Amino acid sequence: MRVEIIPCLQDNYSYLIIDESNKIASVVDPSEAKPIINFIEKENIDLKYILNTHHHFDHIGGNKDLKKKYNSVVIGYKDDASRIPGIDILLKNNQIWKADNFEAKIMHIPGHTTGHISFHFFKEKLIFTGDTLFSLGCGKIFEGTYQDMFDSLNQIKKLPQDTKIYCGHEYTLQNSKFCIKHDPENLNLKNKIVEIKKKLENNIPTIPSTIKDENECNIFLRAKDVESFTKLRDLKDNF
């Protein structure tokens, strides 16, 4: 499996997971159809599956057009069936979704929205975290509670440390400024910031990150309890 990062809209990332052996792909969170179509046509592959982490427009905007063009199967969380355009397959927490050579465990990770899920491709050690876990940050709490988000992040934290994290936005540099402000002595974070800046200067995405990097550097994952997490989340909202 190969993952291609497709920049969409202002700062979104959609991802194509490509199975080279039979030239088919799954897309995660197509913000818009056009950049996805351009890539699919260029590579001459078929888009069989559309995976949605949550219902926000910048994650589902391409669903309808892509489904129409490629007859793709749309996959999302059962409780968000009414909010995910074109949904065909309804997933439950902890379910394994398996189709062709794709195999991912579904983790229900509420907080940003009540129906947010992540797709954990455990064999390849990849996780698509949408707007729940960002590199050096986490999503805003729109529908869930602080406790929901804290628990969701704690689930992700425990995955194998070398798991690669693919999140919904390129927010890493902005997030790093908040982390370093509240964790100024963190050497791992300082090194990560050097790395991030180098990538961005060369027009390279800062994604993927890893569980290890995030555990070491992401202040939201380093919060010891829900009280300190809540305080940080509120501070970040006004940062």
Residues with catalytic annotation? 54, 56, 58-59, 112, 131, 169
Among residues 29, 32, 80, 131, the one that binds Zn ion under rule CB under 5 A: 131
Matching residue, tokens 């919904």: 168
Give least dist CB 56 to Zn ion, A. Answer: 4
Among residues 32, 131, 148, 170, the one that binds Fe ion under rule CB under 5 A: 131
CB contact set of 146 (below 8 Å; sequence gap of 6+): 111, 226, 229, 230, 233
Matching residue, tokens 């992700």: 156
Binding residue count for Zn ion, defined by CB under 5 A: 2
Q: Is the peptide bond before 208 cis (omega within 30 degrees of 0)?
A: yes
| Phi, then psi, of 170 in degrees rounded to 5 | -90, 80
Stretch that binds Zn ion, among 25-33, 95-103, 129-137, 156-164 (CB under 5 A): 129-137
**Which segments of the chain does DSSP mark as H helices, in order?**
34-43, 57-60, 63-70, 146-157, 172-182, 187-201, 211-217, 219-222, 226-237
Residue 130 vs 208, nearer CB to Zn ion: 130
Give least dist CB 31 to Fe ion, A. Answer: 8
Do 228 and 237 meet the contact criterion of CB atoms below 8 Å apart? no
Interface positions, 218-237, toward Fe ion (CB under 5 A): none
Give least dist CB 23 to Fe ion, A. Answer: 29
Binding-site string for Fe ion from residue 29 to residue 68, where x marks contact by CB under 5 A and - marks none: -----------------------------x----------
Interface with Zn ion (CB under 5 A): 56, 131
Interface with Fe ion (CB under 5 A): 58, 131, 168
